[in-house]
Amino acid sequence: MMITMNTNLPSDVISGYDHNRQFPAWLGKVRQEAIQHFHKLTLPTKKDEKWKYVDFPSTLVEWPVVEDQAVFNETVISLVAEKIGEIQSESYLVFVNGEYVPQLSRFSPENSRPLSLEIPETFLDMLHSIENEDIFESINTIRFTDGVLVNVDQEQTADLDVIWVTVPSAKEISFHPRNCFKLDKNAALNIRIHSISTGENSYFMNAVSLVEVGNGAKLNLSFFANESDAAIHFSKFFITCAENAVVKVANFNAAVGLSRTEIDVDFLGPNAVAEILGLNYLVRSQTVHQVASVNHVVGECHCEQVVKSILDNESCTDYYSTVNVAVGAQLTVSNQLNQTLMLSDNAESYSRPQLNIDADDVKCGHGATVGQLEPGELFYLKSRGLSEAQGQLLLLKGFSQDVINRVEDPISRSLWTQFLADRLKF
Over residues 201-213, the mean pLDDT reads 90
> In this structure, are residues 18 and 64 in contact, taking their beta carbons and an 8 Å threshold?
no
Task: Round to whole Å and give the CA distance between 316 and 323.
Answer: 23
Q: What is the DSSP secondary-structure string of 229-245?
A: TTEEEEEEEEEEE-TT-
Distance (Å, whole) CA 269 – CA 297: 8
DSSP 123: G
> For 97, left (φ over 0), alpha (ψ -120 to 50), or beta?
left
How far is the C-alpha of 200 from the C-alpha of 235, rounded, in Å?
20
DSSP secondary structure string for all residues of 56-93: --TTGGGPPBPSS-----HHHHHHHHHHHHHHT-SSEE
Query: Stretch 94-109: mean pLDDT, rounded?
Result: 82
| Local structure of 132: helix, strand or coil | coil
Instruction: Please report the sign of the dihedral spanned by the C-alpha atoms of residue 113, residue 118, residue 122, residue 125.
Output: positive
Nearest to 185 by CA among 114, 241, 123, 268: 241
Residues 305 and 274 sit within 8 Å (Cβ to Cβ)? no
Categorize the per-residue pLDDT at 392 as very low, low, confident or very high, splitting at 50, 70 and 90: confident
pLDDT digits (tens, 9 = 90+) for 29-44: 778 888 888 888 888 8
Cβ(303)–Cβ(273) below 8 Å? yes
CB atoms within 10 A of CB 383: 9
What are the distances in angstroms from CA 42 to CA 16, 88, 134, 352? 18, 43, 9, 24
Q: What is the dihedral of CA 234, 239, 245, 250, to 10 degrees?
A: 10
What burial class does residue 1 get, using C-beta atoms within 10 Å of its C-beta: 0-12 exposed, 13-18 middle, 19+ buried?
exposed
Phi, psi of 291 (to 5 degrees): -120, 135
**What is the b/e burial string over 278-315, where b = at least 16 CB atoms within 10 angstroms of the residue's CB?**
bbbbbbeebbbbbbbbbbbbbbbbbbbbbbbbbbbebb
Q: What is the pLDDT of residue 325?
A: 96
For the ranges 63-67, 241-245, 411-415, the one whose mean pLDDT is highest: 241-245
Is the separation of the CB atoms in 215 and 187 below 8 Å?
no
Q: Where in the chain are the domains?
A: 11-269, 373-426
pLDDT surpassing 70 at residue 386: yes
Given a cut of 50, whether residue 10 has pLDDT beyond it is no
* pLDDT over threshold 70, residue 118: no
Task: Count other C-beta atoms under 10 Å from residue 18's C-beta.
Answer: 11
| Residues 293-310, mean pLDDT to the nearest whole number | 96
Task: Report the pLDDT value the prediction gives residue 309, as an integer from 0 to 100.
Answer: 93
Lowest mean pLDDT among 62-71, 210-219, 403-412: 62-71
Residues paired with 306 in a beta bridge:
277, 337
Spatial distance between the Cα atoms of 409 and 366, rounded to a whole number of angstroms: 26
Quote the pLDDT of residue 426. Answer: 47
Share of the chain above pLDDT 90, in %: 39
Amino acid at 21: R
pLDDT tens digits, one per residue of 153-179: 999 999 999 989 888 776 888 888 989
Could you write out the DSSP letters of every residue in 329-351? Answer: -TTEEEEEEEEEEE-STT-EEEE
For residue range 68-92, list pLDDT tens digits in order. 555 667 777 787 887 787 777 788 8
> Which phi and psi angles does 207 have, rounded to 5°?
-105, 145
Average pLDDT, the chain: 84
- pLDDT reported for residue 91: 86
Alpha helices for 133-259 (secondary structure H): 135-143
d(CA 208, CA 262): 10
Q: Count the neighbouring beta carbons within 10 Å of the beta carbon of residue 149.
A: 24
The rounded distance, in Å, linking the Cα atoms of 70 and 105 is 13
* Position 394, amino acid: L
